[in-house]
A and B are shown apart, each in its own frame.
Chain A
Amino acid sequence: MPVIVMASPKGGVGKSTCAVLLASEFARMGADVTVLDCDPNKSLTRWASHGAPSGVTLKGDVGRSEIVPTIRSADGDGKIVIVDLEGVASQLVSRAISQADLVIVPMQPTALDAEIGSEALALVREEEEALGRSIRHAVVLTKTSAAVKSRVQKELEAQLSGAGIDVIEPSLVARAAFSELFAYGGDLTAMMNDPEMVTGGKVDKALANAQAFTEAVYERLK
């Protein structure tokens, strides 16, 4: 089953949020999901400490030396491996990319995120050349506005498409529920059904966004 790697040398672009959403949605679909938390900030470990959804197993503290054998051992029939990487340019990132079936590069619709995120895209292409095999990769725009598509976002989408880069639709909208997952643990469905969980936003909209995003990722894994 596939290995999905979240990569961007820039921090705060939404790698961990993408990883949590994909892990919980694929687990809801019945997959056995292993999430590797390779980020020293341990965002996913914190999320799982509040309670990971059924079907999600987390492995933390995976470093440069362990990343390749850990992915290899986690991979298997009926399993999806999701790797959340640190927001720096490191060998850990380049090694994880080499093991990916799909590399997702999250970026906010800003010039800075696009510039730094493009380093990850360039690295994927160079690894493809060095390894002699294709590594599917795509960009997802994150923390976008629910109301309007900004001029910068439109320009960035046009630039990415013009450069032949796959852009995942839909983008991930800035939703309070996404960030609050890290405070409550679990998944959006549990959040929506639990009246004890108080969020500042619309969980149903967030769930619909996460499901559409997961569907778009699924299409790229077939």
Chain B
Amino acid sequence: MSGSNRLAGLKARPKGTTVEEVRRVDEVGEARGFLDRTPRKKPGRKPSPRTYQLHPKVLPEVGEAIASEAEALGITQGQLIERMWSAYRG
């Protein structure tokens, strides 16, 4: 078997791709147990990306300074804030 001329004779038949036809196919499939098995996403709001913004009222440069100081000390920002709170209270 060789040569693309043989393949040129192959034809595709027209197929339905309308919403109605897909719905009919889904119905037929579901009746036979062919269900929608798309993995469900976790419910709820997605976690916000890290913006280094500790609080909406903290200015971005302050947030960045706290983040870099925490990184330099090898602790989390929360631990640094705890220390700051302790110094403030003390």
Determine the chain B residues whose CB is within 8 A of the CB of A133 once the complex forms: 13, 15-16
Given A63-B38, A90-B36, A122-B32, A29 and B7 touching (CB < 8 A)?
A: yes
Of the four ranges (under 10, 10 to 19, 20 to 34, 35 or more), the interface on chain A belongs to 35 or more
A101 to B13, CA, bound (A): 7
Q: At the interface, yes or no: B84 with Cβ under 8 Å from chain A?
A: no
Q: Indicate if the CB atoms of B33 and A91 lie closer than 8 Å.
A: no
Residue picked from A30, A91, A119, most chain B C-beta under 10 Å:
A91
A133 to B37, CA, bound (A): 26
For A30, the chain B residues whose CB sits under 8 A away are: 2-4, 7
**Range for the number of chain B residues in contact with chain A:** 20 to 34
Bound Cα distance A45, B27 (Å): 30
- Say yes or no: A222 contacts B29, CB within 8 Å: no
User: Which of A124-132, A162-170, A191-199 participates in binding chain B?
Assistant: A124-132
Residue in contact with B7 in the complex, picked from A68, A78, A93, A211, CB distance below 8 Å: A78
Evaluate contact between A90 and B37: CB separation under 8 angstroms: yes
> Does any Cβ of B come within 8 Å of A1's Cβ?
yes
CB distance from A134 to the nearest CB of B (A): 9
Indicate whether A89 sits within 8 Å of B10 (C-beta atoms), given known contacts A72-B17, A99-B17.
no
Question: 8 Å CB contacts to B: which residues of A76-104?
Answer: 78, 80, 88-95, 97-99, 101
- Does any Cβ of A come within 8 Å of B59's Cβ? no
Q: How far is the CB of B73 from chain A (nearest CB, A)?
A: 42
Q: Does B9 contact A (CB under 8 A)?
A: yes
Q: Is there contact, CB below 8 Å, between A215 and B33?
A: no
CB contacts under 8 Å to B, within A31-80, are: 31, 63-65, 68-69, 72, 75, 78, 80
Question: Nearest Cβ in chain B — how far from A205, in angstroms?
Answer: 17
